Amino acid sequence: MKKFYNNLSHQGKRFFIGFAFIFLSIIFIQALELAWHGVQTFKIRYEAIVLSYDNINSNFNVLIAGDSIGVGVGASKPENSISGIFIKNGASVLNVSYSGDKTYEVLNQVKNIDSRKHFDLALLFVGGNDVLWFRNINEAQNKLRDLIFETKKRSDKVVVIPPGNVGLAPMFREPIGIFYTGRARNLSDRFRQVSKEEGVIYIDTFSNNLAELFQDEPLKYFASDLLHPSSEGYRVWYDKIIREAGIWY
């Protein structure tokens, strides 16, 4: 690099310095934005409450395991999370989700549930943190297979719900968004294949108009961190899951 710079003309050096300054300024601004959104994420994660409810009058029992999406991080109140919507509609819900968990940790969530318990429906919100925190996608794929095996012991209807195209979240600018889109696509393809092989329902949150809907109205469908869904965003996720998984209760 030093040799390249020394070989430049005076005008070329000025151009190079100007370009480098602009490039580094953009990176610095993006770093500040990510830090700000990270603070917002921490705040709403801290405020989120995992909602479970044992409705003795319900004949529809739901198990929810997963990451922050399963928790409902970003919803204005717990009742507006996916778990909360099920409860409002009369279901009995056990939610063991934990914010930040990767696929192998969601596996442990399910293993800790008595296998003699039976649920009419099991929702697995997995993969988001594997994408965001650079976990090995092959390992996540293998752990998903183990997770499905364990969940089948507790429910005859298992639904796998990956994070979708996180690279399109307004929290990420290019080129970071492009990088995360590639990881999310890889994980989605792997999880779809495993779900097909294991005979469980897979909700496609990547190659559909869900991300585009969120992008069109980010202030409506994203929470303050511009990564997690808002209350309205969770309603859209719930409707999609109910429709595509053929759930009636």
| 16 vs 107: which has the higher pLDDT | 107
CA-to-CA distance for 186 and 155, rounded, in angstroms? 27
Residue 5 confidence (pLDDT) above 50: no
Close Cβ partners of 128 (under 8 Å, ≥ 6 residues apart)? 67, 68, 69, 162, 163, 166
Look at residue 16 in the predicted model and tell me its pLDDT: 47
pLDDT in tens, 79-126: 999 999 999 999 999 999 999 999 999 999 999 999 999 999 999 999
Tell me which amino acid residue 214 is: F
Chain-centre distance for alpha carbon 248: 24
Domains in the chain: boundaries: 45-245
Please, are residues 139 and 168 in contact by the beta-carbon 8 Å criterion? Answer: no
pLDDT in tens, 176-228: 889 999 999 999 999 999 999 999 999 998 876 777 788 889 889 999 888 99
Q: Is the pTM of this model over 0.75?
A: yes
Q: Band of the pLDDT at 174, cuts 50, 70, 90?
A: confident
Q: What is the mean pLDDT of residues 17-23?
A: 54
Task: Give domain 45-245's CATH number out of 3.20.20.140, 3.40.640.10, 3.40.50.1110, 3.40.50.2000.
Answer: 3.40.50.1110
CA-to-CA distance for 4 and 55, rounded, in angstroms? 71
User: Is 122 strand, coil or helix?
Assistant: strand
Look at residue 122 in the predicted model and tell me its pLDDT: 98
Q: Of the given ranges (22-36, 100-114, 121-135, 161-175), which has the lowest mean pLDDT?
A: 22-36
